[in-house]
Amino acid sequence: MKGNLAVIAGLVSVLLLMATGCDEGVNDWNSSARITGDVYTDASHTHGIQGVRVILEADPSADHPYEGPDRWTQTDNNGHFEGAVFLGNKNGDYNYLADMSVGYFYGNKEFTWSGGITVGPGSVFTLPAVDTTMFMPLGNTGGQ
């Protein structure tokens, strides 16, 4: 009976160690970057918009496009968003610099910000504020 309890205790210890150590290579400080920004109703930047969908993706025309999956987030009740992207690739190597494009979608309108968004591990890139007067009907190419 004592032998069985020791084996069970050992297995539980190993499982706990494995569970706590698995995410070490995929945490915010060594392999992810954050992109933040704000979306307002107009150019006065006084009223944030909740529920704007923000897509973080590769900038295909850049020298070092992001190789990870597209990520999305939404603005909070103040119009603020923050999204994280993992800076690894399919081989498990890290891309220390990655160029991003950010798409905003609200109702039947969109806006894309690309060019000049370069992130590295642990970095936080804050985009200039945008407002809905910058958005175009879906399907049109508007943006920076």
Residue 47 covered by a domain = yes
Residue 64 covered by a domain = yes
Query: pLDDT exceeding 90 applies to what percent of the chain?
Result: 46
C-alpha to C-alpha distance for 139 and 116, rounded to whole angstroms: 23
Q: What is the pTM of this model?
A: 0.71
The CATH number of whichever domain residue 118 belongs to comes to 2.60.40.10
Strand, helix or coil at 55? strand
8 Å CB contact between 88 and 140: no
Residue 42 covered by a domain = yes
Mean pLDDT, the chain, as a whole number? 77
Domain ranges, residue 42: 28-137
Residue 56 covered by a domain = yes
Residue 46 covered by a domain = yes
Residue 110 covered by a domain = yes
Residue 51 covered by a domain = yes
Mean pLDDT of 97-111: 93
The domain tally of the chain equals 1
> At 44, phi and psi to the nearest 5?
-75, -15
Query: 107's torsion region: left (phi>0), alpha (psi -120 to 50) or beta?
Result: left
8 Å CB contact between 87 and 26: no
Residue 96 covered by a domain = yes
Q: Which pLDDT tens digit goes with each residue over 20-71?
A: 333 333 344 446 899 999 999 998 988 999 999 999 999 988 988 888 889 9
